[in-house]
Amino acid sequence: MSRVYLIGFMGSGKTTVGKQLARKMRWSFVDTDNIIEKELGITVQEVFDQLGEEWFREYEQKVLTKTTSFQNTIIATGGGTPCFYNNMDTIINNGLCIYLRMPPKEIVSRISQSQKIRPLVYNLTGIKLEKYVEKTLVERETVYLKAHLIADALNPNLIHTLEQQIKRYFGTIK
- Whether residue 73 contacts residue 3, with contact meaning beta carbons closer than 8 Å, is answered with yes
pLDDT at 145 over 90: yes
In this prediction, residues 102-121 reach a mean pLDDT of 80
pLDDT band at 174 (very low <50, low <70, confident <90, very high): very low
Residue 30 domain flag: yes
pLDDT at 124: 67
Residue 6: its H or E element = strand 3-7
Q: Is the pTM of this model over 0.95?
A: no
Residue 26 domain flag: yes
Residue 173 domain flag: no
Kindly give, in sequence order, each residue whose CB lies less than 8 Å from that of residue 13, ignoring residues fewer than 6 positions away. Answer: 100, 102, 110, 153
First CA to last CA across the chain, in angstroms?
13
For residue 133, give the CATH number of its domain: 3.40.50.300
- Whether residue 20 contacts residue 159, with contact meaning beta carbons closer than 8 Å, is answered with yes
pLDDT at 123: 73
Beta bridge partners of 5: 75, 97
Range scoring the smallest mean pLDDT among 17-26, 45-54, 97-106: 45-54
Count of domains for the chain: 1
Q: Residue 36 sits in which domain range? A: 3-168
Each residue of 42-67: pLDDT tens digit?
999 899 889 999 999 999 999 999 99
